[in-house]
């Protein structure tokens, strides 16, 4: 199984957002990540989520990953459109 990294698509498996797909914004430590979807969880209010409560989809959005890592401004609309085929 591929390691979760910035820009990875993950599926929430617990909590009220269960069943939704998110993009990893930041890896906080060995147990926590920050996730966004551009709709419910916008970039300025990223969700802190335990790693055991998400399932890695083994897909990395390279364009978003590069922007996150280089500190380039990313808009919620970009995240929403990247996840549109997953969240419907």
> So what's the pLDDT on residue 87?
87
Q: Break the chain into its structural domains and give their ranges.
A: 8-87
Mean pLDDT, range 60-74, rounded to an integer:
94
Mean pLDDT, range 53-75, rounded to an integer:
95
Whether the CB-CB separation of 21 and 84 falls below 8 Å is answered with no
Of 65, 30, 32, nearest to 47 (Cα)? 32
Whether 1 has a pLDDT exceeding 70, the answer reads no
> So what's the pLDDT on residue 66?
95
Sign of the alpha-carbon dihedral angle for 81, 25, 14, 40: negative
Whether 16 has a pLDDT exceeding 90, the answer reads yes
pTM for the model stands at 0.93
Q: Does domain 8-87 have CATH number 2.50.20?
A: no
């Amino acid at each position: 199984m591929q390691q979760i990294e910035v820009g990875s698509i993950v599926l929430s498996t617990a909590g009220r957002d269960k069943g939704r797909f998110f993009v990893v914004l930041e890896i906080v430590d060995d147990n926590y990540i920050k996730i966004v979807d551009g709709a419910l969880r916008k970039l300025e209010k990223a969700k802190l989520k335990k790693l055991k409560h998400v399932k890695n989809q083994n897909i990395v959005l390279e364009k978003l990953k590069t922007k996150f890592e280089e500190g380039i401004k990313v808009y919620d609309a970009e995240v929403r459109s990247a996840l549109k085929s997953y969240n419907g």
